Amino acid sequence: MLTRRAAVSLLAGCLALAASALPAAAQSADKLKVVATFSILGDMVRNVGGGRVEVTTLVGPNGDAHVYSPTPADGRRLTEARIVFTNGLKFEGWIARLVKSSGTRAVTVEAARGVKTLQNDDAGHDHGHHHGGADPHAWQSIGNAKLYVANIRDALIAADEAGKATYEANAAAYLKQLDALEAEVKELVAKIPPERRRIITSHDAFRYFEDAYGIDFVAPQGVSTESEASARDVARIIQQIRREAIAAVFVENVSDARLMERIAKETGARIGTKVYSDALSEPNGPAGTYIDMMRHNIRAFSAALSS
């Protein structure tokens, strides 16, 4: 007959053996559960978290986080999470209320914390909506995305110290890929004749891209999709396209295409390939990850401006 101590130690041994023999997927109960508010951020968290983290994204592919209406299921996802990753800069106007109503004890981490922000009201035209302060689309600069990655890494380590080495290695590998991506973007911009580096998009989501890489973006709709473009803004853009002979206009995946179709029709500018500003495409689409999204967009801009 086994002594009590031997029995306990035998049992512990069996449990350890059982745990180590399980495939990683079967251990999802042990994974760190986190929530990301939108698809671009969810992809970054997955890259840093790797196999230790289970990421749930609230606003999925092609979804518009400016005007999202949370569901009761979102509240449950928050209560199960240890960390809620948000962009911050008032991008997700609905998140604070959702966090509160869910009663979650998760920490909220703003991925854009520390970014040098661009202000909404320095674009020289009337946005016609109430989003004063910082432009939220900071991820459109890859330099900023690297800051997001550092914030994500630090938050994961704070919540799961045992994964420190993994998170650091994952983040370092991903940052290397982002450096290569940024070099690629700069190389393509450099090939566009300087006088042609001007683009029309429907909502003002590319100002950080403009600031970092030197392509001018003009948008009739302002920085949020929440407000419609005013007749005055549309008329101003049409005049500008004619005056400056701008060759192409672009529609983002989160915007209504009709406005840009009208502008294209009135000016003779052509509509370029659909670009991705605030959300990824479906995973098997052209912008299923942040890196693929940035690469797709710069290739679309460069194809339209170089020809």
Q: Which is nearer to Zn ion, 48 or 205 (CB)?
A: 205
Choose which of 118, 205, 218, 294 interacts with Zn ion (CB under 5 A).
205
Which window, 24-32, 100-108, 188-196, 201-209, contacts Zn ion (CB under 5 A)? 201-209
Q: Which is nearer to Zn ion, 182 or 278 (CB)?
A: 278
Q: Which is nearer to Zn ion, 171 or 293 (CB)?
A: 293
Q: Based on the shown chain and the rule CB under 5 A, indicate whether residue 135 belongs to the binding site for Zn ion.
A: no
Site string for Zn ion, 227-266 (x = CB under 5 A): ----------------------------------------
Q: Which is nearer to Zn ion, 205 or 287 (CB)?
A: 205
What DSSP string runs through the chain? Answer: ---HHHHHHHHHHHHHHHHHHS-GGGGGGGSEEEEEEEHHHHHHHHHHHGGGEEEEEEE-TT--GGG----HHHHHHHHH-SEEEE--TTS-TTHHHHHHHHT--PEEEETTTT--PPBGGGSSS---SS--SB-S-GGGSHHHHHHHHHHHHHHHHHH-GGGHHHHHHHHHHHHHHHHHHHHHHHHHHHTS-GGG-EEEESS---HHHHHHH--EEE-SS-S-TTSPPPHHHHHHHHHHHHHHT--EEE-BTTS-THHHHHHHHHH-PEE---B-SSS---TTSTTSSHHHHHHHHHHHHHHHHH-
Q: Based on the shown chain and the rule CB under 5 A, indicate whether residue 65 belongs to the binding site for Zn ion.
A: no
The torsion angles phi and psi of 235, rounded to 5 degrees, stand at -60, -40
Shortest distance in whole angstroms from residue 178 CB to Zn ion: 21
Which window, 143-151, 157-165, 184-192, 200-208, contacts Zn ion (CB under 5 A)? 200-208
Q: Based on the shown chain and the rule CB under 5 A, indicate whether residue 64 belongs to the binding site for Zn ion.
A: no
Q: Based on the shown chain and the rule CB under 5 A, indicate whether residue 278 belongs to the binding site for Zn ion.
A: yes
Which window, 28-36, 48-56, 70-78, 275-283, contacts Zn ion (CB under 5 A)? 275-283
**Sheet holding 107-110: strands in order across?**
53-59, 32-38, 83-86, 107-110
Q: Which is nearer to Zn ion, 149 or 205 (CB)?
A: 205
Q: Which is nearer to Zn ion, 192 or 293 (CB)?
A: 293
Shortest distance in whole angstroms from residue 126 CB to Zn ion: 17
Q: Based on the shown chain and the rule CB under 5 A, indicate whether residue 34 belongs to the binding site for Zn ion.
A: no
Which window, 4-12, 15-23, 100-108, 277-285, contacts Zn ion (CB under 5 A)? 277-285
Half-sphere exposure of 94 (CA within 13 A, CB side): 15
Shortest distance in whole angstroms from residue 190 CB to Zn ion: 27
Q: Which is nearer to Zn ion, 110 or 278 (CB)?
A: 278
Query: Which residues contact Zn ion by CB under 5 A?
Result: 205, 278
